[in-house]
Structure 1
């Protein structure tokens, strides 16, 4: 168990350093916002562009891997909605927002560094395949469900526009799409451009983790304890359990694929879960608290899943 914590804890120590720095006034809110803009709109898109542009698409995009991961995602989304609606008596808008919290795992800021520390950088190929369609899948499913269920958009064209704007204005998605374009066209980066990308990539995850710690300081848990525990259980336990069962029994994943699917599924809800809740003004307190508490709990749950994985 100590060896497993040695893998997970450094990631959370960097995150915790950001949390403490903002808490003690050593790093300003404006600094956190600037750091997150740099990482999410520039450095991480460069990371995803570089990874996708050099990815073996035939090997990386295995339908069995995606089926194993996204079956779990869809299941916890539905369970989150049903539980919030019929067990906790939340409104339909709140229920969908709570389902989205369970759906949107932190696949980049937590999933990538933990997988890399556990199994090495070469083990990230299946992670990048999952990440490549993560934002579009989650946003299309979440926004479409919300718009239809709340009758906010009866016009199909407006619905498509709303979904498309949310997906394709995302800098991470732009980096992924440009990576696909470079991969499929066979474009080779000039050496100096590749070196510049490498410099950006080296800064991406450490800076993002530090900034995420500062962001999480704003999301102090308050109220709705049972709902928060429910959604964290779906994210940290049910989703990876489904991915594990699918990968071992149904789709027969390779060892690398199984590791990536389960570890990515076991990550806490990402900050995008709160942004979705805030966009609709629904279950914001639950979303913010679940992001914070789930991230802290991932130290233990991710270690447990690492113990089970081959």
Structure 2
């Protein structure tokens, strides 16, 4: 248990510090945006590119990991959609947004520092594969669910999907992952001075990203249907890790350390893109914000328990 706390506690302690900074107005809105820009456009892409470029991806890329994680995630998406539609009586498009809230993990700002601390560079390789595909797959599925729920109104489903595709391909996180994989597959070598620079910037990723999470959460309020918020949060933190674990162990027979990374990713709290999407479509805004907030707090408990099951090697 002490070793688990050593892994998890610093992550949530920094989030807590960021939350306190935000509540005390020690970092304003412009400051938060500057921090997020640094993390999203520079620090995280440097970390991802450097890790993947040195990972011998031609040898380590495993489609079974993709099948295990996203197979479980797609089953989860459908199940949460059905709960939202048939238990809480939401419309089809709103249920699509609820399904995203119950499936989309905060892979970059929370999972990444957790896996880095617990499993080191070996754990980063499968995580990079998941991160590279995460937005593309779940953005598309959510867009389809919302579009069909609305009868593909407005600009039309085709144009919406094209816009999503362009957004994903312009995402610096996705671009860094693709570039790193191509660098690795091409067998290119990194000049020492460039590698040192990337490593220097990458070291700032975890603490600064977690601080940004805390400051962002400090401005959120828990409103909306609390019963639905807690049900969707429970499905996110409990059912999704179970589905991914079943797929990884019973269907795809992944190696144990990759199973651990996949399950920890699934058990991470809902990502900020959930309320970004909610605001974009004008759907589920209060409840999406609530799921992000509550899942971030409660994931402290579920992640501690999972690290007991999947101990640090």
TM-score (normalised: structure 1): 0.94
Which structure 2 segments of 5+ residues have no match?
none
For 1:233, the equivalent position in structure 2 comes to 234
* Mapped pair 1:289 → 2:290: yes
Offset, 1:51? 1.8
Aligned partners of 2:58 and 2:184 also within 8 Å: no
For 1:92, the equivalent position in structure 2 comes to 92
Aligned partners of 2:51 and 2:124 also within 8 Å: no
Aligned partners of 1:139 and 1:166 also within 8 Å: no
Taking the TM superposition and a 5 Å limit, the aligned residue runs for 1:72-151 are 72-150=72-150, 151=152
For 1:49, the equivalent position in structure 2 comes to 49
Question: What is the count of residue pairs matched by the alignment?
Answer: 310
Q: Deviations over 1:80-104 (max 9, x none)?
A: 2111111111122211111111121
Say which is worse superposed, 172-181 or 249-258, in terms of deviation: 172-181
Q: Flag the 1:60–1:235 CA change in 2: closer, same or farther, 3 A.
A: farther
SS in 1 for 2:238: helix
CA distance in 1, matches of 2:225, 2:279: 17
For 2:66, the equivalent position in structure 1 comes to 66
Aligned partners of 2:109 and 2:206 also within 8 Å: yes
SS in 2 for 1:105: coil
What's the Cα RMSD here? 1.7
SS in 2 for 1:108: helix
Offset, 1:42? 1.3
Say which is worse superposed, 117-126 or 5-14, in terms of deviation: 117-126
For 1:263, the equivalent position in structure 2 comes to 264
For 1:172, the equivalent position in structure 2 comes to 173
* Mapped pair 1:304 → 2:310: no
Aligned partners of 1:108 and 1:131 also within 8 Å: yes
Aligned partners of 1:231 and 1:290 also within 8 Å: yes
SS in 2 for 1:187: coil
For 1:10, the equivalent position in structure 2 comes to 10
For 1:188, the equivalent position in structure 2 comes to 189
Which structure 1 segments of 5+ residues have no match?
none
Q: Deviations over 1:159-214 (max 9, x none)?
A: 44222122123221122222233223333222221111111101112101101110
Offset, 1:301? 0.3
Offset, 1:154? 7.4
